[in-house]
Amino acid sequence: MNDYEVIRQIGEGAFGRALLVRDKRAAGDGLCVVKHISFRKMSTREKEASKKEVTLLSKMKHPNIVSFIASFQERGNLYIVMEFCDGGDLMKKINMQRGLLFSEDQVVDWFVQICLGLKHIHDRKILHRDIKAQNIFLTSGGRKAKLGDFGIARMLNNTMEMARTCVGTPYYLSPEICENRPYNNKTDIWGLGCVLYELCCLRHPFEGSSLRQLVSKICRGHFPPVSVQYSHSLRQLVTQLFKTNPRDRPSVSSVLRRPFLEKHISKHVSTQVMQEEYNDLVSPQNRATAAAPKEAKTGRKAAEKTQKARGAGRPGGADGSPSAKPAWRVPFRANTPVLLRPPPQRVGRSAADRRLAGNQ
């Protein structure tokens, strides 16, 4: 840690702390976040899992995922250096609205970026398992949204025992988790629905006066409707993301193919990344719009990478050798928490007090 100047602590958990630091070697302000995790309290299994998560994080390179910078071990501690997002998290932004709804264009712009980040990890058969507004971070004056705090974040916040009790309120739990059914990629889609609803309504979709009532609403999929200020397409999408049967929820790729979302993709993705990861999502018309002249020189290299990626994705792989279908990889997490603690008050004001006039 000699290369980093600690500015302040920004989080603390059973295994360690999250620190805002300044990299003494970097040009500019050099701000970044260091997650300091103590191995002393960990079992052998937890230590090995945390090391695997660091490897996982290091491979997540995408403009809509909080960047991994470095990791190192020192004196029985694990340090993970991550990008610092100066705009704070999305829940903070929602609470700052004080009842004034976001414009649909703003909601869709953030939502598409979150979906792009989620598609990147789902394409690699990795589950996030903790999608919520507090785990989405803003940069570039609030214009860019980044998905963060998966995998190692739960290691920082809970021990194995603590995770078996309810730490906080389970607003984001899906019906299948409430009913102790298996977690899958469609459970991440439920969390995506919660975030979209909060962007539209500035409150949690599922609330109750008791924990029993809250879980009942989640399992039945009962939530107040989204304001008619928003388009039918957007309101319909919220309903589809909240299907109680996971099989009925769309995949993140299917979500991004919706015409009212598709046109936003090229705003956040370079031509090269578009061809490598999202070529199947964007119509030819919007694909052509995304191709900027300054990126034309990268076309040949991008095409070669695309061809290689397509070859690898075919049965048998690029070299014709047999390949097995990869299993979904679940970041190391403790067991599903037992729901014990009643929820606090809702986010923001009631619907009756909410002003619908004006847009951000």
Write down the domain spans for the chain: 4-83, 87-347
CATH 1.10.510.10, domain 87-347, yes or no: yes
Chain CA centroid to CA 171, Å: 16
pLDDT tens digits, 259-305: 999 888 988 877 777 777 777 776 555 555 544 444 444 555 555 55
- 35 marked among binding-site residues: yes
Task: Decide if 97 contacts 298 (C-beta within 8 A).
Answer: no
Mean pLDDT of all residues in 111-117: 97
DSSP string covering 221-272? T--PPPPTTS-HHHHHHHHHHT-SSGGGSPPHHHHHTSHHHHHHHHHHS-HH
Half-sphere exposure of 71 (CA within 13 A, CB side): 19
Catalytic residue positions? 130
pLDDT band at 7 (very low <50, low <70, confident <90, very high): very high
pLDDT of 309 above 70: no
Half-sphere exposure of 97 (CA within 13 A, CB side): 29
pLDDT tens digits, 208-238: 888 889 999 999 999 999 999 999 999 999 9
Q: Assign residue 134 a region: left if phi > 0, alpha if psi is -120 to 50, beta otherwise?
A: alpha
Task: Decide if 207 contacts 214 (C-beta within 8 A).
Answer: yes
The rounded distance, in Å, linking the Cα atoms of 144 and 299 is 25
Q: Enter the pTM of the model.
A: 0.75
Question: What tokens appear for 157 in the block?
Answer: 């916040």
Lowest mean pLDDT among 36-40, 134-138, 205-209, 256-260: 36-40
The rounded distance, in Å, linking the Cα atoms of 129 and 151 is 8
Q: What kind of fold does domain 4-83 have according to CATH?
A: Phosphorylase Kinase; domain 1 (3.30.200)
Sign of the C-alpha dihedral computed for residues 232, 228, 238 and 86 taken in this order: positive
pLDDT of 102 above 90: yes
With 0-12 / 13-18 / 19 or more C-beta atoms within 10 angstroms meaning exposed / middle / buried, residue 212 is exposed
